[in-house]
A and B are shown apart, each in its own frame.
Chain A
Amino acid sequence: MATTITMPQLGETVTEGTVAQWLKKVGDSVDKYEAFVEVSTDKVNAEVPSPVTGTIREVLVKEGETVATGTPIAVIDEVGAATSAPSAPPQASHAPAAPAAAVAPAPAQAAPAFTNGAGSGATANGAEAVLRGASPAVRRLAREHHIDIRTIKGTGSNGRVTADDVLAASRMGPSAAVGQAIASSPAPAAASAPPGGTSTYGNPIPGTIVPLNQARRIIAERMVESKHTAPHAWSMVEIDVTNVWKWRTREKDRFERETGYKLTLLPFFIRAVVESLAAFPLMNAKFTPEGLYVNKDVNVGIAIGLATNLVVPVIKRADQMSIKGLAIAGGELIDKARRGKLGVDDLAGGTFTVNNNGANGSWASAPIINGGQAGIVTMETVVKKPVVRDDDSIAIRSMMNSCLSLDHRVVDGYVASGFLADLKKRLEKMGPEGSL
């Protein structure tokens, strides 16, 4: 009997999905529960498992095409069945069987033209040669870790990408691997664009159009919606993080040894944020036409910028976690994000967002609020500077700005500045002693 597969609904408010990649083609056999197509919605890719064992008879939607939820996308002939008209697709709710781990649009999708990283020549032919020369182990590992072989710098003979190279790249994550590839390549991206190839977000060519992929389209929609719906106001404080920084420095090696994750200032910051949110519950609220919905749970999203994408995974019930717990939860989510393994659940349910913006030296920023939240707070760069203290003495202190964009429908300046002041006080009280 032939079974029709329809576009699943991955997420409560999702109304459409895009076929990101067919994992099987017509004629291939597929086992029950085996993934046969990757579907993307809301910056998340999910692998869809087959409901039956059989052979792919028809593929109805092309890669890259977006269709409404419930639209037929494929027909599978069940094993042992005589060919007959496909059965009508089920009309029940489209809650899919647990989708497999999501795959973030890794370079393979968003930036296929990273030819420099191959190290075997700065031409597209070089990149293709790398792909052709890849050993079975390299191909398998690249497939398992969702890495484009062409983005990896090879350390084998004649610049060959080795299996160890793939494994090293997978540990760093695709954005880091890409960063490494860019860093290690002599020529800029433009010079090595494939002749007649497309401009991409990671490799934009002046004078061309970078086509919008699903992720970019959604980011654009959401940003417009947020800015045009919530009246954004902005405020900033300067925080003396010297003591908390000392605390962090004291703990970081042991922490890394014990958990495998890095200890940054972020979990300390989040700890302070959740305490301040408890003191200023309206900062954890949401504007609705019926009123301001004050969230019970404190689910803190961490904004993570990847090379070609922005994701905001959420630490659920962050207020109930210690600094150590926040560091581990955050570390896990960041690792997942880098490996493109964030699932729908990881991205949903945020009530407030933190953006650790300081990595590249930003001193102040005006972030756009995540739709449905009252505010978004940043950590800017930490700068050592001479500071006049209360007793008029001058000391060298580590200072960090923290900026807040707020939805002025939910809170006004009094609450917002109160929140920020509270956050500053708490952070300045942390460390240098203390337990995580």
Chain B
Amino acid sequence: MAVSSSSATSTVMNNVEAVRATLYEAMKTDDRTVILGEDVGARGNVFLITKDFINEFGPERVIDTPIAEASIVGIAVGMAMEGLRPVAEIQFADFIYPAFNQIVGEAAKTRYRSNGEYTCPLVIRTPYGGGVRGALSHSVSIEALFYHVPGLKIVAPAFPADVKGLLNASIDDPDPVLFLEHKKTYRLIKGEVPDGHYTIPLGKANILKEGTQLSVVSYGLYVHWALEAAQKLQEEGLSVEVIDLRSIRPMDKGTILRSVEKTRKLLIVHEDNKFGGIGAEISAMVAEEALFHLDAPIRRLAAPDVPAMGYALPLEEEYMSSPGEMAEAMRELVKF
């Protein structure tokens, strides 16, 4: 994992602790940083990410907003235009739609429409993803709606060390960043996080496991399951390379292409619906730039094109892909 840190020590923590620790340090070191959103202050965020921040940093820096997503983002845009470094929170990604214009029509275009006179260094954090019995309004993946937009950046780290490095980089970034936190990984995924301040540049994927017979590209919760599936295949003597995108826009084209040139086969695994998902763009890019390296059709393993995963467990499981299903897809493609 390409992380350079000023410290040689590290701490084991899970993803939600990583978000909290990073935000805390950012608030401490730069008083242009303010946090705003629903229930972020007194309640300390519904996952306790900003617990007690309001006591230390005050209500003018940890702002409990009314329930008004469009203006949570819009006000943050104004703050950013006027020199603050706001970190706005949308409580669940499923609630982000009212803010769509502010994100896509305003934040993403501020620098461009003003020919660089005004900029929008804004971070919008939001928990997304399913597998938590969240049903229609607490499970959705939203990256495909936004990754289409030039002027926006989107990251979706899966490991705690990446959460910290990418959140720091996002807060430093002079342009608007949508920071996606998979809620199921909040407490499920633990890892070593280097101490001290460090950033991971946006637009760099991470090869979690090297292999020679198949490239698997994924992000978020599914990266962990894909890794599990690939390790199972390793025991069967099949060599699968697993790439954690980490950053959706900008996306690490080079790592994907180099991997496909090596293995000649590509499987993209994501939780979002298949049609028009991230996998579609990766497939088109690889077909365009590495066609003559492909020894099999590009495959995408993704959610079926239905509006949501249901609350009932069989419906949630049918929608989501399990490590077993991922392993089967990998096996088929390796043996093609």
The residues of A with any CB-CB pair to B shorter than 8 Å are 135-140, 156-157, 160, 162-163
Contact = CB atoms under 8 A, between A and B. Distances in A.
B292 A137 contact: yes
A252 B294 CA distance: 39
B291 A136 contact: yes
Interface in B25-45: none
Contact of A160 (B291, B292, B293, B336): B336
Contacts of B294: 135-137
A136 B261 CA distance: 12
12 contacts: A135-B294, A136-B291, A136-B293, A136-B294, A136-B295, A137-B264, A137-B294, A138-B295, A140-B292, A157-B336, A163-B264, A163-B295
Interface string B293-336: 11110000000000000000000000000000000000000011
Contacts of B293: 136-137, 140
A157 B333 CA distance: 10
Nearest to B332: A157
Nearest to A165: B295
Interface string B266-300: 00000000000000000000000001111110000
Main secondary structure of the interface of B (DSSP, over half): loop
A392 to B, nearest CB: 61
Interface of B: 264, 291-296, 335-336
A90 to B, nearest CB: 37
A112 to B, nearest CB: 23
Contacts of B336: 156-157, 160, 162
Contacts of A136: 291-295
A135 B296 CA distance: 6
A162 B295 CA distance: 7
Contacts of B291: 136
Main secondary structure of the interface of A (DSSP, over half): helix
A160 B265 CA distance: 15
| 4 nearest CB pairs, A to B | A137-B295, A140-B292, A163-B295, A136-B292
A319 to B, nearest CB: 46
A135 B335 contact: no
A118 B64 CA distance: 70
Contacts of B335: 156-157
Nearest to B335: A157
Contacts of A139: 292
> Residue among A136, A157, A160, A162 with the most chain B CB within 10 A?
A136
Nearest to B291: A136
B45 to A, nearest CB: 49
Contacts of A162: 295, 336
Nearest to A164: B295
B285 to A, nearest CB: 15
Contacts of B292: 136-137, 139-140
A139 B292 CA distance: 8
Nearest to B287: A136
A284 to B, nearest CB: 49
A163 B292 CA distance: 11
Nearest to A137: B295
A136 B336 CA distance: 14
Nearest to A158: B336
A138 to B, nearest CB: 6
Contacts of A160: 336
A126 to B, nearest CB: 19
A155 to B, nearest CB: 10
Contacts of A137: 264, 292-295
Nearest to A139: B292
Given A136-B292, A137-B295, 6 more contacts: A135-B295, A135-B296, A136-B294, A136-B295, A138-B295, A163-B264
B84 to A, nearest CB: 51
Nearest to A166: B295
A137 B296 CA distance: 9
Nearest to A135: B295
> Residue among B291, B292, B294 with the most chain A CB within 10 A?
B292
Contacts of B296: 135
Nearest to B293: A137
B75 to A, nearest CB: 51
A162 B264 CA distance: 10
A80 to B, nearest CB: 29
A244 to B, nearest CB: 42
A135 B292 CA distance: 8
B134 to A, nearest CB: 39
A196 to B, nearest CB: 33
Nearest to A156: B336
A156 B295 CA distance: 10
A54 B335 CA distance: 44
B301 to A, nearest CB: 18
